[in-house]
């Protein structure tokens, strides 16, 4: 009844509750590919260094291939007695090839093994997130190009502020995602040292070649301190921080789509394929995918908090607390993948109601700043005074239910005689947007220039 891997010093086996609380196989089976790959790399190195014979190494490598093929077709078996993916694989290997299997774990511990497997997994997740973000950027840049001159109200405090273009608004998210991509690239680069060969915590007395295993697994170099190597989960936290920041951006875009899809706004119709209906209200089409992107951002941030709390205050080196590192990373990665795919689909398939956007921009006195700027430029009035005059004009327009450019000239001149008929050109939303041609501004020419740059960066040109 004793444990096959470590039962030598035990008089009795673990209780049922010990087996259950200890078992990580239900979730760490997701690491099986990385575990097999790292084991094959390790045993090839052991053979090259003369630590195991070529014949044993060949038997082990062949056996690991068989285990991998079994996992591929039938999944990874979940036996709590075998604790985790490492012991599950080694025990199956022993069934397949016999005693030689016991040589695989020479000069290795599950502590450096799990750190290596998990780091390989997280590195792949960084690459996948970067690629999925690139796909969403392609969707954004495509719609932004289409709508480089589409007028919509720009908001501050969710109150109409100044007219902007829809292309400019979409490109704002492109920039956020650019920073997100750089965070995943950075997380990947920082996770470029290989823990394998650090053994339990102190290194090993066997003449291993850590450079060889590091480079065979795609790392730049081995880790430089064995205690740090088996205790470090910064790479997982870096990934979760990048994922949280990215999810936060996605949740802001999701919130805007939700607001825009509401009937009072009516700025967008989201694709049917990413919406749901109501079981009682036949007219309903709900933006559930966007709401779930907004909601999942909270769960992803919770995953980051979870791992930070796990790592806080842990003494060197490995403690079993660290087994709890994997569920939050796997959960966050799954959620982020879904959120990015859903958002890409929503941006690709959104039907923007440009007529409603323009009407809202025209109605909200969005060009009031343009009137004040005109007074400064044409009549040399100090900005604060121009602001006051414009405020009076807005008040008048509002009381008459008119857009600013529909107030008769005589009424504007009654507020300030320095206003003349040239002012009307400045009050159109098109003129307002076209005038904001400073670098990074909303003028269509600026938006098109940034779109062209972005398309080059994405490899679309």
Give residues in contact with ligand ARG (CB under 6 A).
24, 28, 84, 110-111, 114, 318, 320, 322-323
Nearest distance in Å: CB 24, ligand ARG: 4
What letter does residue 268 receive in the DSSP assignment? Answer: E
Catalytic residue among 169, 198, 215, 278: 278
- How far apart CA 66 and CA 97 sit, in angstroms, is 10
Residue nearer to ligand ARG on the CB measure, 114 or 120:
114
Nearest distance in Å: CB 110, ligand ARG: 4
Nearest distance in Å: CB 46, ligand ARG: 20
Q: Residue 382 has which token pair?
A: 């100090």
Q: Is 157 a catalytic residue?
A: yes
Q: Burial level of 449, CB count in 10 A (0-12/13-18/19+)?
A: middle
Cis amide leading into 64 (omega within 30): no
Q: Hey, is 149 helix, strand or coil?
A: coil
Catalytic residue among 42, 105, 147, 157: 157
Residue nearer to ligand ARG on the CB measure, 117 or 405:
117
Residues 114 and 438: beta-carbon distance below 8 Å? no
Residue nearer to ligand ARG on the CB measure, 322 or 335:
322
Sign of CA dihedral 131, 140, 439, 390: negative
Nearest distance in Å: CB 113, ligand ARG: 7
Residue nearer to ligand ARG on the CB measure, 5 or 185:
5
Q: Burial level of 99, CB count in 10 A (0-12/13-18/19+)?
A: exposed
Residue nearer to ligand ARG on the CB measure, 251 or 323:
323
Q: Residue 18 has which token pair?
A: 């010990």
Q: Is 296 a catalytic residue?
A: no
To which H or E segment does residue 37 belong?
Answer: helix 32-48
Cross-strand partners of 164: 152
Nearest distance in Å: CB 34, ligand ARG: 12
Nearest distance in Å: CB 262, ligand ARG: 46
Give the dihedral of Cα atoms 282, 286, 288, 291; nearest 10 deg.
Answer: -140
The residue behind tokens 């760490």 is 28
Beta strand ranges found along 86-226 (DSSP E): 151-156, 159-165, 193-194, 221-222
Q: Burial level of 87, CB count in 10 A (0-12/13-18/19+)?
A: buried
Residue nearer to ligand ARG on the CB measure, 111 or 244:
111
- The catalytic residues are 157, 278
């Amino acid at each position: 009844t004793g444990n096959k891997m470590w039962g030598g010093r035990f008089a009795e086996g673990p209780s049922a509750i010990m087996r259950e609380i200890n078992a990580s196989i239900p979730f760490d089976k997701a690491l099986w590919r990385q575990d097999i790959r790292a084991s094959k790399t390790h045993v090839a190195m052991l053979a090259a260094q003369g630590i195991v014979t070529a014949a044993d190494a060949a038997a082990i490598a062949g056996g690991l291939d068989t285990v991998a093929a079994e996992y591929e077709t039938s999944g990874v078996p979940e036996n709590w007695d075998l604790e985790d993916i490492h012991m599950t694989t080694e025990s199956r290997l022993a069934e397949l090839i016999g005693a030689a299997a016991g040589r695989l774990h020479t000069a290795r511990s599950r502590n450096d093994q799990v750190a290596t497997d998990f780091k390989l997994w997280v590195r792949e997740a960084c690459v996948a997130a970067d690629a999925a973000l690139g796909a969403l950027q392609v969707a954004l840049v495509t719609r932004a190009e289409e709508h480089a001159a589409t007028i919509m109200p720009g908001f501050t405090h969710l109150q109409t502020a100044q007219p902007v273009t829809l292309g400019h608004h979409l490109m704002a998210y492109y920039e956020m995602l650019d920073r997100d991509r750089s965070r995943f690239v950075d997380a990947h680069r920082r996770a470029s040292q290989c823990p394998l060969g650090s053994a339990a915590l102190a290194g090993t007395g066997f003449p291993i070649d850590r450079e060889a295993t590091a480079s065979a697994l795609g790392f730049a170099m081995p880790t430089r301190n064995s205690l740090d190597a088996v205790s470090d989960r910064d790479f997982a936290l870096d990934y979760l921080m990048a994922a949280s920041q990215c999810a936060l951006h996605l949740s802001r875009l999701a919130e805007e789509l939700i607001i825009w899809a509401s009937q009072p706004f009516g700025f967008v119709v989201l694709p049917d394929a990413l919406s749901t209906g109501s079981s009682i209200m036949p007219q309903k089409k709900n933006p559930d995918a966007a709401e779930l992107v907004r909601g999942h951002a909270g769960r992803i941030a919770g995953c980051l908090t979870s791992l930070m709390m796990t790592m806080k205050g842990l003494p060197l080196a490995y403690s079993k607390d660290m087994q709890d590192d994997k569920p939050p990373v796997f959960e966050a990665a799954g959620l982020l993948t879904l959120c990015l795919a859903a958002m890409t689909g929503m941006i690709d398939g959104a039907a923007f109601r440009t007529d409603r956007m323009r009407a809202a921009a025209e109605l909200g006195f969005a060009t009031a700043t343009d009137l004040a700027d005109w007074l400064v430029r044409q009549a040399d009035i100090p900005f604060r005074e121009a602001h006051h005059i414009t405020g009076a004009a807005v008040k008048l327009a509002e009381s008459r239910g008119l857009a600013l450019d529909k107030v008769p000239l005589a009424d504007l001149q009654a507020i300030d005689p320095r206003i003349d008929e040239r002012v009307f050109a400045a009050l159109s939303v098109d003129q307002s947007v076209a005038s904001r041609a400073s670098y990074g501004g909303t003028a269509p020419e600026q938006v098109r220039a940034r779109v062209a740059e972005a398309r080059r960066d994405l490899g679309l040109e």
